[in-house]
């Protein structure tokens, strides 16, 4: 209730800020005419000619705005009393507002010196930066400072109306960063949309913070326990992010600054594979079932990130390689070649097929031939333009209905970077983990990528990394208990200081945990949920299945990272002795995978969750439904 009230207040305040000039003009006009009408009632009449009286009333009404009304008003009507009080204060408000528009930016920036670590700075106000700044304005008490070099940027104007401090300038300029007081902010988001510029801005921020820290240390005004600034750098190009994954600068964490790379496409793909994972729609239990085969429309950066997440997580109890088919136009051939060069062992992980045909112009005969050749359980639509994605999914589904073919579930990934998203997004239902409610005729879901992913919870609070952090904390505790130090093992550090490539390995392990639970007909729930805790793994047979699945997942991860089999481990040459089938592993190596399965309940306990049976969840849901129907 309190949250709804706050959202309503924000909505009303936003409306007032957007229409403030019109509102003030209307108030002035209303008070003037009310004063004019009031004076017509109280001014003495002189003869039969009322023209002089009307001019006197106009002049007297104007004087009310400058505190120049009469002192004695005993016979005045009530409306004139109200005008006499409100009119001058409205004029004062307008004057102060005008002065604020001229000097407000300087005053607001000056006041930031008293809000140490209680404001954020967003550099570059595109769709990504805009949504994150909007989240802070609506859901946080922190002030928001915007840095943008486009004076006519409408997104900056919207945020400014809602209370953000807009600073026009280039974030590469150290003077602009100093004016925005980035060194005193709690978070800085470098989201210009240009990867190279974002990296350069991060270097500029580092220089500003280092200069201020040196100055503070020289004057003795630095406290050892002061919180550090966290700088989030958007790097969306996969190759660029990979270059900086091991770079010393982007693993920088010192007493004043922590740099963090944010890859929007990877974060969106992880979020989609969490809420719209293939096995939520279909789960092969043995090699007697239809194999998992997913269709991808388009081959842009998001589609590539989705394909990798699919290759990492689509490992089930049938132990077969997952299959994927990509439909993309002929212009994607170069992107396909580069993708295959980057992931040279992709075919060892995934049965991957590319068909160079535009999904928008695929004719019914070709579509029918594809569906007769293989069965697709799911289709991810990740085209560049939202209109194309929506129309392609609806067109292919309509043709499938006409042919009488079994349903294919469509997940349309909306980029939300054009006006169409604002027009149609109110018609899209929220994404639900339970897919049984999807209609057979139109099994289409619309995943609003920015609304679902560009949030404080995901970008700042690492919601997608909760399980990955728990995995590392459990590993860290085990190493400490065994007496291992950082000198013996560089990974014996907290999550914050863990190198980025090791974080990625933990993220990939965490991404498959829910798949394992679903294979065992389980899921996770909050500890306080009124559901009985389930034994996990349920039995020794499932233990072997899950351990074998985990080994298959681990092999896929290593192969996608470029590793191949070698009798002796050599990380320089990307060789690993465990990259072999489950049957060829020693019993001690198999026990490592079993130990990981046994750890799952303890990992969930670290984040306040437990393992529950899917059957128990269904029974509880049915009980709640019966109770609701039998209500008063």
Structure tokens at 270: 């992880």
Q: Which residues pair with 189 in a beta bridge?
A: 122, 232
Instruction: Answer with the residue of higher pLDDT: 320 or 81.
Output: 320
Q: What burial class does residue 436 get, using C-beta atoms within 10 Å of its C-beta: 0-12 exposed, 13-18 middle, 19+ buried?
A: exposed
Kindly report, residue by residue over 468-525, the tens digit of the pLDDT: 999 999 888 888 888 888 888 888 888 888 887 888 889 999 999 999 999 999 999 9
For position 616, what pLDDT does the model report?
Answer: 52
Three-state helix/strand/coil letters over 376-423: CCEEEECCCCHHHHHHHHHHHHHHHHHHCCCCCEEEEEECCCCHHHHH
For position 383, what pLDDT does the model report? 93
pLDDT band at 608 (very low <50, low <70, confident <90, very high): very high
Confidence of residue 222 (pLDDT cuts 50, 70, 90): very low
3-state secondary structure (DSSP) of residue 351: strand
**Measuring CA to CA, how many Å separate 241 from each of 198, 257, 261?**
12, 20, 8
Nearest alpha-carbon partner for 272 in 138, 381, 149, 427: 381
- What confidence category does residue 625 fall into, taking pLDDT thresholds of 50, 70 and 90? very low
- pLDDT bucket at 376, cuts 50 / 70 / 90: very high
Rg (CA), the chain: 31
Q: Where are the domains of the chain?
A: 2-102, 115-262, 269-457, 512-625
Q: pLDDT digit string (tens) for 441-461?
A: 889 999 999 989 999 999 998
**Average pLDDT of span 285-307:** 94
Q: How confident is the model at residue 621 (pLDDT cuts 50, 70, 90)?
A: very low
Average pLDDT of the residues of the chain:
85
CATH class of 269-457: alpha beta
Higher pLDDT, 231 or 20: 231
Summarize pLDDT for 525-572 with one digit per residue, the tens. 999 988 899 999 989 999 999 999 999 999 999 999 999 999 998 988
* Cα gap 406→376, rounded to integer Å: 9
Element (H, E) at 297: strand 293-297
The whole-number pLDDT of residue 591 equals 94
Which of 102-111, 124-133, 472-481 has the least mean pLDDT? 102-111
Q: Confirm if 574 and 561 have CB atoms less than 8 A apart.
A: yes
Nearest CA among 112, 115, 128, 17 for reference residue 415 = 128
pLDDT in tens, 269-291: 999 999 999 999 999 998 899 99
Q: pLDDT-derived band of residue 67, with 50, 70 and 90 as boundaries?
A: confident
- Mean pLDDT, rounded, for 50-61: 79
Look at residue 590 and tell me whether its pLDDT is greater than 90: yes
| pLDDT computed for residue 100 by the predictor | 67
Tokens of 292: 């998992």
Give the mean model confidence (pLDDT) for residues 122-128. 92
CATH 3.40.50.720 fits 115-262, yes or no: yes
* Residue 46 confidence (pLDDT) above 60: no
Closest CA to 171 of 155, 148, 151: 148
pLDDT tens, 178-205?
A: 999 999 999 999 998 888 899 899 889 9
CA atoms of 511 and 135, how far apart (whole Å): 26
More confident residue, 78 or 333: 333
Minimum mean pLDDT range among 77-91, 242-256, 258-272, 296-310? 242-256
Whole-prediction pTM: 0.80
Which pLDDT does position 260 carry in this prediction?
87
**Sign of the torsion formed by the C-alpha atoms of 242, 275, 387 and 377:** positive
What percentage of the chain has pLDDT greater than the value 70? 86
What is the reported pLDDT for 550?
96
For residue 618, pLDDT over 60 is answered with no
What percent of the chain clears pLDDT 90, i.e. is strictly above it?
A: 49
Residue 414 confidence (pLDDT) above 80: yes
pLDDT of 246 over the 80 cut: no
C-alpha 380/C-alpha 626 separation (Å) is 36
Per 3-state DSSP, the chain is made up of helix, strand and coil in percentages (nearest 5) of 55, 10, 30
Longest CA span, the chain? 117
Backbone φ, ψ for residue 411 (5° rounding): -115, 110
pLDDT at 45 over 50: yes
């Amino acid at each position: 209730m309190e949250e709804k009230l706050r959202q309503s207040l924000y909505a009303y305040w936003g409306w007032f800020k957007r229409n403030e000039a019109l509102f003030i003009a209307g108030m002035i006009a209303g008070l003037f005419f009310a004063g004019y009408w009031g004076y017509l009632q109280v001014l003495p009449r002189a003869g039969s000619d009322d023209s002089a009286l009307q001019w006197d009333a106009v002049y007297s009404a104007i004087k009310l705005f400058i505190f120049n009304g009469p002192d004695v008003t005993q016979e005045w009507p009530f409306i004139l009393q109200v005008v006499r009080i409100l009119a001058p204060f409205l004029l004062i408000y307008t004057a102060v507002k005008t002065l604020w528009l001229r000097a407000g930016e300087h005053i607001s920036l000056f006041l930031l010196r008293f809000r140490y670590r209680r404001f954020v700075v967003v550099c570059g106000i595109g769709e990504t930066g805009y949504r994150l700044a909007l989240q802070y304005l609506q859901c946080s008490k922190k002030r928001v400072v915007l840095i943008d070099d486009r004076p006519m940027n409408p997104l900056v104007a919207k945020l400014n109306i809602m209370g953000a401090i807009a600073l026009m300038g280039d974030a590469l300029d150290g003077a602009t960063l100093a004016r925005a007081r980035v060194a005193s902010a709690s978070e800085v988001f470098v989201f210009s949309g240009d990867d190279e510029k974002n990296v350069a801005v991060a270097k500029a921020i580092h220089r500003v913070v280092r200069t201020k820290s040196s100055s503070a240390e020289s004057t003795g005004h630095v406290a050892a326990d002061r919180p550090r600034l966290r700088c989030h750098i958007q790097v969306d190009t996969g190759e660029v992010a990979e270059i900086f994954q091991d770079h010393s600068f982007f693993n920088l964490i010192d007493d004043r600054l922590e740099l963090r790379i944010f890859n929007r496409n990877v974060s969106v793909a992880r979020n989609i594979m969490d809420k719209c994972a293939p096995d939520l729609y279909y789960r092969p239990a043995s090699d007697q079932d239809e194999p998992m085969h997913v269709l991808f429309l388009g081959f842009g950066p998001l589609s590539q990130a989705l394909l990798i997440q699919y290759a990492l997580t689509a490992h089930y109890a049938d132990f077969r390689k997952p299959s994927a088919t990509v439909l993309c136009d002929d212009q994607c051939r170069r992107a396909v070649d580069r993708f295959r060069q980057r992931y040279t062992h992709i075919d060892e992980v995934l049965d991957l097929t590319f068909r160079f045909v535009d999904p928008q112009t695929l004719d019914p005969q070709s579509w029918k031939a594809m569906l007769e050749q293989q069965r697709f359980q799911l289709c991810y639509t990740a085209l560049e333009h939202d209109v194309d994605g929506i129309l392609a999914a609806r067109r292919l589904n309509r043709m499938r209905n006409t042919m009488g073919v079994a349903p294919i579930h469509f997940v349309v990934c909306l980029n939300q970077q054009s006006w169409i998203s604002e027009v149609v997004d109110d018609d899209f239902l929220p994404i639900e983990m339970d897919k049984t409610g999807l209609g057979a005729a139109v099994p289409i879901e619309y995943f609003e990528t920015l609304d679902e992913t560009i949030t404080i919870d995901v970008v700042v609070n690492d919601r997608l990394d909760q399980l990955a952090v728990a995995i590392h904390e459990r590993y860290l505790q085990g190493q400490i208990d065994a007496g291992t130090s950082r000198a013996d093992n560089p990974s014996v550090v907290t999550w914050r200081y863990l190198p980025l490539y090791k974080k990625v390995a933990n993220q990939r392990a965490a991404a498959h945990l829910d798949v394992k639970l679903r294979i065992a007909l389980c899921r996770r729930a909050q500890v306080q949920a009124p559901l009985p805790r389930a034994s996990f793994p349920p039995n020794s047979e499932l233990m072997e299945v899950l351990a074998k699945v985990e080994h298959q997942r681990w092999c896929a991860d290593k192969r996608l990272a470029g590793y191949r089999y070698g009798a002796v481990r050599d990380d320089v040459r990307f060789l690993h002795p465990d990259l072999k089938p489950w049957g060829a592993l020693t019993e001690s190596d198999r026990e490592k995978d079993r130990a990981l399965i046994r750890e799952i309940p303890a990992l969930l306990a670290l984040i306040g969750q437990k393992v529950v049976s899917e059957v128990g969840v269904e029974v509880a849901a049915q009980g709640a439904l019966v109770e609701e129907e039998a209500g008063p």
